[in-house]
Every structure is written in structure tokens, then in C-alpha cells.
Copies of this chain bind each other. A is one copy, B any other.
């Protein structure tokens, strides 16, 4: 399965877990987890895995590719149990490949455990060293295996105590879903950097990176797991335990800008609405812009573009057509073809843009190369002016909390100022939303965000 490298940050992982009290069918847990992962597919397309438990032992199936490539009806039919956890992965720490795919299932002193993780530990090297000194071996390069070994160190403790001790050890960003033979656990880092929420369906409980996955299986959002909290689900129902008092929230702001699905609500904020508001705010900050038409870079820029169009009172049209077919491979065009203007993923609708002054709205610019090509294409299609408005501030700094930003020297905003970027991408003008404007649009009581990729101000230090 091939995905052309897009000029975007990459979300790293999605996690899901379900505990059914009285499943109608022995494969309901696996099946629901399949749908949950399918709904979280945008968070990772490289590998997918599901572990199920029937109360006695845990069974794992994982593979490379999309959820619906990895699992066949036969495999789901073989996964019996009333509990399951699942994972989709892009990569994070750890090289790619099946060995690093999750969930990770292991035996330890007390039985079997399955683990699925979204995030990145900032003290992983120190933890590995410490564990190895005591004799641990590591078969993968994932953070998840570190958590597993850490848990096994505390094997003499009750599970809850062991997890609490782990939470003291782990630094950085993590949303963990853990399954023993009979218990499902969710835990979220003390600043709530990565998202994790709890859902409910007919008295059964679900954990998920995003609420959209709850919708997909017909469940309701109960609430987000709190920063520093552990949620334990078993035959006694659900129990909450605030292990570490949060030193302050630092929710990843890029979930709202680009990663999460528009139909998810994270920590109380609906993603679509927040994008729309950022578009409106952006329009307020671009009042001098005199154009005929608002278009978006599909699909991620559309919500902001609609907000922009409304606020600015300028018509919105689909000026760009996206080809959404994806296969295992892609044939690269020759240099000559590139010069001739091959348009593989996007095409301008000339009839719409011809003779028009256009503002194109996108959610973010990473390296700027795609923006440059699109603007060129719009001019060829007859647009008389092409302005660009970006619904996030310039991305200048790398992320250490589970997002694949390009290397810092590839981030165009790190090496050019806005005027230089405007020239590079060939726009008539370029407008980023202000940091204040973005925060204003996302404003909600009691919430604060990690915006380190824009500000360089990191809530957790590396190595800490």
C-alpha cells in the first residue's frame, strides 16, 4: 500500500480497547476493535494489530498495511474473546517493520499482557539502560517494550500499583491501552499530551484515541481520560484513579489543526468546529485581502476555508480536485514530465478558477513544496491572483511527543521568513494565523495546549 509523501506532519499511532460484559458473539470484541481501528486509520497506515482475551489467554494478530488489508473475515472469526485492544501505527521511535507493530503481547510472572501505545517517551534511553542493567533484553526498538519490561519489574505488586509506579518512571507523552487476561486499562500522561477517551455502549466500556471511533461502533463518549489518570475496566465495571496530579495540561494543538478527524471531540473541543473557527479568525486577520473566491486544499483545509469564506463574505468553491485512489506502488514521473506539469494527486478546475483572484486556505505548511506546485497549477488554470492563507502559525520546531515532523532543517518556516516563503511558493501574498488568534479560536475553560512546534516552548524536556 503506497501513500505519496504529503507535505504534512504525521500522526504516529491510534489505540483502541473494548471490554464487553455479555458479548452476543465470541468475535464481537475483535470485530468492534476492527471497526475502531478502521475509524482511526488516519492515525497510522503502516501496520495494524488486534489482541483479544477470552479471560484465560491472549491471542494476537498483526500485520503490515491498512486495517482492511491486515484482517480478513477468517482472521476475525478466529479471534475469540470478550475483550480486545488494537493499534494502528505510522512509526515513532523504533524502525519500521512487523516486529515493531503493536499491540505487544508478552508473558510475565503474573500471566499475559497486551500493550498498545501512542506517544513518545522522552526518557526512553535512560529507562532502557536501567532495565538492561537488571537483565532485560529488547527485541524491538519501541517505547512499548520499555513499558512492558518496566511493568514486569513490578510484577510482585498489584497491577494498579505496578501501573502507578510505571507512571512515575515514564516521562513524555503517552496514551496507553493495556489488557491483562481479565482487565482493560487506559492511562494518559500527566499533561495529557496525546488524546485518550472513554466511551460506553449498553453498559460496556471502550477506550479510544478519538471519539469518532466511538461513533463508528455506535458508542457514546463518556469523557476524556484525565492527564495522569488510570482507568481500570473489568467485571467490576469501570474505576478511575488519579495517579499523578497533572502539573498542567499541554494537549497537542496539532490534533485540532490537522491530525484528528473533524468528527472527533477531544478534551471537550470538536475538531471540525475548531478548524472552522480558526478559518474565521484567519479571515479576520486578512481583512485587506481583496479576492473573488475562497478555495481549500482538500481535504484538510476545507473546514477552515468554509469558516474563512463565511467570515470574509466571499464565495467558497471546490477549485481543486483530489484523486483519492491509492495502491501498493506509484510510478514516479520523469523530470521532463514534471516540467510539463504532471498533476497526479490534485488538479485545478479551470472553469472555476479562470480569471479569478483566489485565496487558497490550508491547515499548515511544512516544507512548502506542495503549496508551490498547487499555486503554479492554479495560475496555469487561469487564476489571476493566488493568495495563500494558513490556519496555523509557521511550524518551526520538531516534536518530541509522538509526531513525525520533518527534520528541523526541512521545515521551511525554520529557514525562511514569511516573505521568503511567499516568494518560494510563488503566492501573491501569504498569511499565517497569529499564535494569539489560533489560541483564541481554541479557547476553552481549563484547557491549555502544547504548541511547541510553533513556539519551541516544550512542556517536557527531552531526557527528562
Contact of B107 with A343 in the complex, beta carbons under 8 Å: no
Most buried by B among A1, A34, A73: A1
Measured CB to CB, the nearest residue on chain B to A352 is B272
A73 contacts B331, C-beta separation under 8 Å = yes
Q: Identify the closest chain B residue to A330 (Cβ).
A: B68
> Is A318 part of the binding interface, using a Cβ–Cβ cutoff of 8 Å?
yes
Interface pair A132/B153, CB less than 8 Å apart? no
**Partner pick for A136 among B34, B132, B152, CB 8 A cutoff:** B152
Candidates B69, B76, B330, B342; contact of A328 at CB < 8 Å: B69
Q: Mark A175-194, 1 if CB is under 8 A from B, else 0.
A: 00000000000000000000
Cβ-defined contact, B270 with A24, below 8 A:
no
Please pick, from B28, B39, B149, B351, the residue contacting A265 in the complex, using a CB distance under 8 A: B351
One of A248-256, A302-310, A409-417 at the interface:
A302-310
Chain B residues, Cβ within 8 Å of A348: 215, 263
| Interface check A334, CB cutoff 8 A | yes
Interface segment among A165-173, A319-327, A386-394, A455-463: the answer is: A319-327
B106 touching A139 by the CB < 8 A rule? yes
Q: Return chain B residues, CB-CB under 8 Å to A76.
A: 331
Complex alpha-carbon distance, A35 and B332, angstroms: 10
Choose one: B41, B66, B137; the contact of A106 (CB below 8 Å): B137
Option from B28, B67, B149 in Cβ contact (under 8 Å) with A327: B67
Given contacts A323-B39, A325-B68, contact A135 B134 (CB under 8 A): yes
Contacts A109-B132, A340-B201 given; does A68 touch B2 at CB 8 Å? yes
Complex contact B318–A272 (CB within 8 A):
yes
In the complex where A35-B333, A76-B331, A316-B316 touch, is A66 in contact with B325 (Cβ < 8 A)?
yes
Complex contact A202–B138 (CB within 8 A): no
CA distance A424 to B102 in the complex (A): 44
Residues of B within 8 A of A159 (CB): none
Q: Is A325 touching B45 in the complex (CB atoms < 8 A)?
A: yes
A65 CB-CB contact with B under 8 Å: yes
A239 at the interface (CB under 8 A from B): no
Give the chain B neighbours of A141 by CB distance below 8 A.
107
Main secondary structure of the interface of A (DSSP, over half): mixed
In chain A, positions 39-96 with a C-beta closer than 8 Å to chain B are 39, 41-42, 45, 65-73, 76
Separation of A371 and B198 alpha carbons in the complex (Å): 30
* A454 interfacial by beta-carbon distance below 8 Å: no
Given contacts A133-B109, A326-B68, A331-B73, contact A139 B317 (CB under 8 A): no
User: How many copies are assembled?
Assistant: 4
Q: Is A17 an interface residue (CB 8 A)?
A: no
Is B340 a contact of A318 with CB atoms below 8 Å? Answer: no
Confirm or deny: A329 has a beta carbon within 8 angstroms of a beta carbon on chain B. Answer: yes
- B68 with A337: CB separation less than 8 A: no
Whole-angstrom CA separation of A134 from B323 in the bound complex: 46
Q: Which residue of B lies closest to A139 (CB)?
A: B106
How far, in whole Å, are A134 and B263 apart by their CA atoms in the complex? 46
CA distance A272 to B354 in the complex (A): 14
Q: 0/1 per residue, A92-115, Cβ < 8 Å to B?
A: 000000100000111111000000
Contact of A334 among B24, B66, B104, B326 (CB under 8 A): B24
Evaluate contact between A344 and B35: CB separation under 8 angstroms.
yes
Shortest Cβ distance from A73 into B: residue: B331
Question: A347 contacts B215, CB within 8 Å?
Answer: yes
Contacts of A25 in B (CB 8 A): 334, 336
Which residues of A come within 8 Å of B, CB atoms? 1-2, 24-25, 28, 31-32, 34-35, 38-39, 41-42, 45, 65-73, 76, 98, 104-109, 128, 132-139, 141, 148-149, 152-153, 155, 201-202, 212, 215-218, 261-263, 265, 270, 272-273, 302-303, 306, 310, 315-318, 321, 323-334, 336-337, 340-344, 347-352
Q: 12 new A-B pairs (CB below 8 Å) besides A39-B323, A104-B139? A: A25-B336, A28-B337, A32-B337, A38-B325, A42-B325, A66-B325, A72-B328, A73-B331, A108-B132, A136-B152, A216-B342, A316-B316
The 9 closest A-B pairs by CB, nearest first: A68-B327, A218-B341, A218-B340, A270-B351, A109-B132, A69-B327, A263-B321, A66-B327, A106-B137
